Amino acid sequence: MTQCSISDYFLRLMISRQFAERTRTTGFANLLRHIAIVATASAVLIGSFGTAWAFTRAERQAFQKSIVDRRARLNPKFTKTTRKKTRFIIVHTSEGGLKSTLRVVSSGKRLRRSYRTKGGHAHYVIARDGRVYRTLDKRFVADHAGRSMWNGQTDISKISIGIELVGYHYGSITEKQYRSVGLLIEILQRIYDLDDSAVLTHSQVAYGKPNRWVRNSHRGRKRCAKNFDHTKAGLAPTWPFDPDVKAGRLVADPQLASIYYAPRKPSSRSTGGNVISSTNTAWNIAGDEYNSPTTLYRLPNGKVVPGHEVEERIGWNRIPKNTVVLLNQEEGDPAGESEGPVRRISDGYTAWDIAGFDYNKASTFYFFPRGRVASGREVSDWDELPANTRMIVGYRGPYEVTARRPAGIIAGKNYNKKDTLYYFPNKKIISGDSVRDFARLPKGVLVFLPSTG
């Protein structure tokens, strides 16, 4: 059976030789009843998959013209291999910002300033503003799925196209991303004759070998795109079951199974975030990257421990609650082991890496290199935060120091405390305990106070 809608298949069946034979032996009415039963059963089995095209030809053409071609940025060490067949479209979340995502998928993942991989990790990247980048010709095999299996078929990379959505599996996917990925998927479905059952997420197809968390081969190796909602991309809901778990080839991951296959779907696919709790473990957050050098654990006391050192320095059973897990931190903590509450966004990293769910709140403030100050609610373009933007989380303000309203009036007895921050016209941020002369603060100094103070 080709990848077509169920109705198209049965229309062809009715004009086939089997139709004529069935009519002679059972009668026309019984045949129609048989067709209806089989169609209903098939719809239940595969989740009523089909391809209800949502976009016009003009929309598809305009979209294709808007794609940014970055194929020339591909790592020259990557070996191009023509894909012999295409059975799936795999959706990923990049677990990073736009700049780092484009660099990694094209050039390779870096570790200690050298390339650990040779790139070619996706065919397309979709930024949070909906802009689409072509990073590898769709004819070639992209190294994007890793150890993977679906319905008994392994090594999914060799038979699939990989799409990276810039963002995090514990965050949200933007409406503009959903529109772009919906358009892109529809175009690819038309090219490769695929229906909606062929669209899966990396977390659905990835599987892991036995480890300290799971004793058998299992789902849950990746959490990638577990927040991807098929219906928001104009697709039919995903499969009602995991065929490899059902066949006994793999054991289920409880968290992913509750998201994808539970009778009652949870209202949010981002439950748990990237903060360790009694129910949200390192494995739940990072999958098989839990002990990678590029996965960092920021402890409640501000210390940062890379994944490969956790066992020796802390112990996996003793990681404190409220530890923040940061993925794909290639060359150390992007915010550094900060001096006080001020953190700096390094090139290629995002506000998510530092603030988690607080990145866009009114209590998070951004100090841009050119001097502009904005709260999280006032920032609209998260993919283009310039490198060296500084930020503070959990503050209120800003309050301007004037002759009639000096620091002592604004901050009270906390005016000279370490967590009271002063932003000077020369773009310096100085804590209250480091200000030498409060009587001579220059005009335009802004004060930021801890929101809990």
Task: Summarize pLDDT for 231-242 with one digit per residue, the tens.
Answer: 999 999 999 999
- Is there a domain that residue 393 lies in? no
End residue of a domain, out of 237, 260, 283: 260
Tens digits of residue pLDDT in 244-264: 999 999 999 998 999 999 876
CATH number of 88's domain = 3.40.80.10
Rank 33-42, 281-290, 321-330 by mean pLDDT and report only the highest: 281-290
Q: Quick one: 194 and 251 in the same domain?
A: yes
Average pLDDT, stretch 175-185?
95
End residue of a domain, out of 236, 260, 284: 260
What is the predicted pLDDT for the residue at 33?
Answer: 45
Average pLDDT, stretch 305-333?
83
- Is there a domain that residue 190 lies in? yes
Average pLDDT, stretch 132-143?
96
- Is there a domain that residue 377 lies in? no
What is the predicted pLDDT for the residue at 39?
Answer: 43
Give the pair of three-digit tokens for residue 389.
């933007």
Tens digits of residue pLDDT in 64-84: 999 999 999 999 999 999 999
Q: Quick one: 131 and 74 in the same domain?
A: yes
Q: Quick one: 62 and 33 in the same domain?
A: no
Average pLDDT, stretch 339-363?
76
In this prediction the pTM is 0.71
Of 157, 156, 169, 148, the residue nearest 122 (C-alpha) = 157
**C-beta neighbour count of 65 within 10 angstroms:** 7
Cα 261 from Cα 233, distance rounded (Å): 18
Q: Quick one: 232 and 293 in the same domain?
A: no
Of 129, 205, 133, 122, the residue nearest 167 (C-alpha) = 129
- Is there a domain that residue 283 lies in? yes
Average pLDDT, stretch 154-174?
93
The confidence band for 23, taking pLDDT boundaries of 50, 70 and 90, is very low
Q: Quick one: 201 and 234 in the same domain?
A: yes
Q: Quick one: 280 and 314 in the same domain?
A: yes
Tens digits of residue pLDDT in 369-397: 989 999 999 987 766 677 788 999 999 99
- Is there a domain that residue 441 lies in? no
Average pLDDT, stretch 189-213?
94
Q: What are phi and psi of 426, to 5 degrees?
A: -85, 10
Q: Quick one: 63 and 42 in the same domain?
A: no
Average pLDDT, stretch 296-313?
87
What is the predicted pLDDT for the residue at 265?
Answer: 55
Tens digits of residue pLDDT in 260-291: 998 765 444 445 678 888 888 888 888 888 88
- Is there a domain that residue 38 lies in? yes
Per DSSP, the three-state class of 324 is strand
Q: Are 322 and 279 in contact (CB under 8 A)?
A: no
Q: Are 358 and 364 in contact (CB under 8 A)?
A: yes
What is the predicted pLDDT for the residue at 421?
Answer: 96
With tokens 């921050």, the residue in question is: 421
End residue of a domain, out of 289, 314, 333: 333
Cα 384 from Cα 381, distance rounded (Å): 6
**C-beta neighbour count of 216 within 10 angstroms:** 11
Q: Quick one: 98 and 138 in the same domain?
A: yes
Average pLDDT, stretch 35-60?
61
DSSP state of 316: G
Average pLDDT, stretch 150-156?
96
**Count: domains in the chain:** 3
The confidence band for 226, taking pLDDT boundaries of 50, 70 and 90, is very high
Residue 298: domain span: 275-333
What is the predicted pLDDT for the residue at 172?
Answer: 84
Q: Quick one: 111 and 249 in the same domain?
A: yes
- Is there a domain that residue 401 lies in? no
Q: Quick one: 226 and 84 in the same domain?
A: yes
Q: Quick one: 209 and 288 in the same domain?
A: no
- Is there a domain that residue 214 lies in? yes
What is the predicted pLDDT for the residue at 359?
Answer: 85
The pairing of beta strand 124-126 with beta strand 160-165: parallel
Q: Quick one: 299 and 207 in the same domain?
A: no
133: pLDDT strictly greater than 90: yes
